Amino acid sequence: MGNCCRKPAKCAHASSSSNFSGKAKSQIIVKQDSTTTYVSQQTPLESLNKSLIASKADSSVSSNLKSFSFNDLKLATRNFRSDNLLGEGGFGCVFKGWIDEHTLAPTKPGTGIMVAIKRLKLESFQGHKEWLTEVNYLGQLHHENLVKLIGYCSESDNRLLVYEFMPKGSLENHLFRKSVEPISWATRMKIAVDVARGLSFLHGLHANVIYRDLKASNILLDADFNAKISDFGLARDGPTGDNTHVSTRIMGTRGYAAPEYVATGHLNPKSDVYSFGVVLLELLSGRRALDEETGGFAEETLVEWAYPFLKDNRRVLRIMDTRLGGQYSKKAAQTVAAIALQCLHSDSKNRPSMVNVLGSLEQLNTSREMPRTPQLNTSRDMPRTPLQPQAKLEHHHQGIKHTNHPQRISNV
Ligand SMILES: Nc1ncnc2c1ncn2[C@@H]1O[C@H](COP(=O)(O)OP(=O)(O)OP(=O)(O)O)[C@@H](O)[C@H]1O
Ligand SMILES: [Mg+2]
């Protein structure tokens, strides 16, 4: 596997409850769109844990997923050759590989279909938990804005995941890499809508699934820049009934995680809304949630930097990415900045729901009033957003410690 996997594994904060035990059986049932649903009769973690413990060839885990042998995946990636390496994250390395479209058997490089194969670092216990969570969620949830999981491998200590290949890679590469051509305003807005749609789908499920790890590197792009959310290792069922939150170990990524979640471990769907607000800011500004070059030490987050501009209508366009070359509608940019500000509200109750955010962004994308050429700024141009009025974002990041990229939240 060469010298990849230098990044630290994801880690946890403080333990208040487990992802993997003590949870009542839940069904994953969609409320909103029956064409994209799967209904589970059994808690997915239970069923998968049982089959893994039984060490069966776990085709019973999910009829939707292929169980690959480790040898299959070695063949598909030419023994995880380093020139097949697509990228590396906290979980492990991602390789491209080739399989037959119909039989899913490994094929010669360049034949069949290309897939992305993520290989868990062997030493990572947390990685195993995330692998299991991902198999459970992505094995059952299907939506055009969620990356497709084709199969998995669980053979002795090896844990791998096989995904559809996303030719344009991650949003992170397109927004922040100087060597990559900048993406246009229209593409950025389409990506925002796609991600909002994916999150709305999750939040609309009966189990109120919370994604918990939204960030530019987890947004993958197909050949036409359609965006899909990947990496469900931190996802979990959200609060139901009268509960306002679920208590969890604090997991996520610095610069993206909602402040109240980092402070308390209380998780609800509005935590995803906050992270979505950070991604919107990244799309607008072309700046990272937390600057990698400084290692994050004593640096302000993107949210802290952008806040004075976001709340001042006359200065809000100063956050805009200069790589856009002014090729965007000023009104549209102001509207998106206003939506971002609402998503980033310090009080989670005052953040809009993802469905509302999606509605606002879709409305903006279909609006015909968007001028192609930039205009001079006047505060009177500030549109009224269909969401809540702009609200003050209080300084709320004292609880987040800064570490090196990828700034996983770790023991504080
Ligand atoms: N399905 C895929 N198709 C194409 N490239 C992919 C796919 N999945 C991942 N990649 C590439 O591999 C890189 C690493 O992904 P990975 O999810 O392991 O790490 P990450 O998102 O940077 O960090 P984290 O572990 O915190 O999620 C991505 O940035 C992307 O470039
Ligand atoms: Mg990722």
Report DSSP letters for 309-346, one per residue.
HHT-TTTGGGGS-GGGTT-S-HHHHHHHHHHHHHHT-S
Q: What's the burial of 101, exposed, middle or buried (CB within 10 Å: 0-12/13-18/19+)?
A: exposed
CB 334 within 8 A of CB 383: yes
Decide: 162 and 116 in contact? Cβ < 8 Å.
yes
CA of 146, nearest ligand number: 1
Q: Which atom of ligand 1 is nearest to the CA of 406?
A: 26
From the CA of 165, give the closest atom in ligand 1. Answer: 3
Q: At residue 307, what are phi and psi to the nearest 5 degrees? A: -55, -50
Report how far residue 254's alpha carbon sits from residue 234's, in angstroms, rounded to the nearest whole number.
14
> DSSP class of residue 322?
G
What string of pLDDT tens digits covers the 412 residues of the chain? 443 444 433 433 322 332 222 222 222 222 333 223 222 333 344 444 433 333 333 333 455 899 999 999 999 999 999 999 999 987 789 999 999 999 999 999 889 999 999 999 876 667 888 899 999 999 999 999 999 999 999 999 899 999 999 999 999 999 999 889 999 999 999 999 999 999 999 999 999 999 999 999 999 999 999 999 999 999 999 888 878 888 888 888 999 999 999 999 999 999 999 999 999 999 999 999 997 665 545 578 999 999 999 999 889 999 999 999 999 999 999 999 999 999 999 999 999 999 999 999 999 988 754 444 333 232 333 232 333 322 222 222 222 222 233 456 642 2
Beta strand 158-164 pairing with 149-155: antiparallel
Helices (H), 179-301: 185-204, 259-264, 269-285
Strands 66-67 and 149-155: parallel
Residue 408 CA: which ligand 1 atom is closest?
A: 26
Q: What is the pTM of this model?
A: 0.80
CB 48 within 8 A of CB 20: no
**CA 109 and chain centroid, separation:** 29
Which single residue is written with the structure tokens 């868990």?
Answer: 120
Choose the catalytic residue: 58, 72, 194, 213: 213
d(CA 207, CA 198): 15
Measured from CB, residues less than 6 Å from any atom of ligand 1 are 86-91, 94, 116, 118, 147, 163, 165-166, 169-170, 172-173, 217-218, 220, 230-231, 406
Separation of alpha carbons 246 and 23, rounded Å: 11
What is the gyration radius of the CA atoms in the chain, in angstroms?
A: 21
Residue having the nearest C-alpha atom to atom 11 of ligand 1: 87
CA 217 / ligand 1 centre spacing (Å): 6
Hunting for tokens 């906290």 — which residue is that?
90
213 assigned to active site: yes
**Mutation choice for ligand 1 from 94, 148, 290, CB with most ligand atoms inside 8 A:** 94
- Which residue carries 């549109």 as its tokens? 383
Collapse the DSSP code of 152 into the 3-class scheme (helix H, G, I; strand E, B; otherwise coil) and give the result: strand
User: Number of C-alpha atoms within 13 angstroms, CB side, residue 405?
Assistant: 14
